[in-house]
Amino acid sequence: MSKDYLPQTAFSRRVDSVIRLVGDGLSYIWLALLCVIVFNVLLRYALNEGRIELEEIQWHLYSIGFLLGLSYAYQADAHIRVDILHEQFGPELRAWIELYGISLFLLPFIALIILYGIPFTVAAWELGEISASPGGLAYRWLIKAMLPLGFGLLLATVIARVHRLWHFLFLEEAKHGSE
């Protein structure tokens, strides 16, 4: 759904600008991931030397890019959606469907991930968890922290979206109804 028909609010503009900065920064994560993969492949196949820390850095970078990129994808409306019927609906019906979808599915899912992700991260930090692989990376809690952080950013983006939907459905409607 194109978000052009939804009004911008001061709150949504602030959140969207922060999320755009996060998305711009994440573009360098993907570049770093590509470099690590190429370097690891060269080491493995050209020099016959594998490095476990390079393997782990790969999945750490991918996790960071994916989890923190969720909010950017949602904000930019670049997420996957089945648009067969959706494109047939008018803006008001689309807004209602999105508001119900967010309320019934997305917000509870985000809440569960954050609710369970924080203790998951804290437990790893308290244990001083490290990689089980010899030569693996330490500070496992840092990568686990990306789960609640990524979904926290997604929550902020969703709240900004709900703010825009609310203005469209209830405040803009009140203006149009009074004319």
Predicted confidence pLDDT, tens digits, the chain (179 residues): 445 778 888 999 999 999 999 999 999 999 999 999 999 999 888 888 878 888 889 999 999 999 999 999 999 887 666 667 777 788 888 889 889 999 999 999 999 999 999 999 999 889 888 877 777 778 888 889 999 999 999 999 999 999 999 999 988 755 555 44
| Contact in structure between 75 and 19 (CB atoms under 8 Å) | yes
Phi-psi region of 77 (alpha: psi -120 to 50; beta: other; left: phi over 0): left
Q: How far apart are CA 87 and CA 64, in angstroms?
A: 33
Amino acid 179: pLDDT: 46
Residue 154 covered by a domain = yes
Domain that holds residue 169: 8-178
Residue 119 covered by a domain = yes
| Contact in structure between 102 and 162 (CB atoms under 8 Å) | yes
Residue 120 covered by a domain = yes
Amino acid 83: pLDDT: 66
Tally the domains of the chain. Answer: 1
* Residue 136 one-letter amino acid: G
Residue 3 covered by a domain = no
Amino acid 3: pLDDT: 54
pTM of the model: 0.85
Residue 25 covered by a domain = yes
| Contact in structure between 167 and 7 (CB atoms under 8 Å) | yes
Q: How far apart are CA 70 and CA 154, in angstroms?
A: 6
Amino acid 176: pLDDT: 52
Q: How far apart are CA 129 and CA 148, in angstroms?
A: 17
DSSP code of 104? I
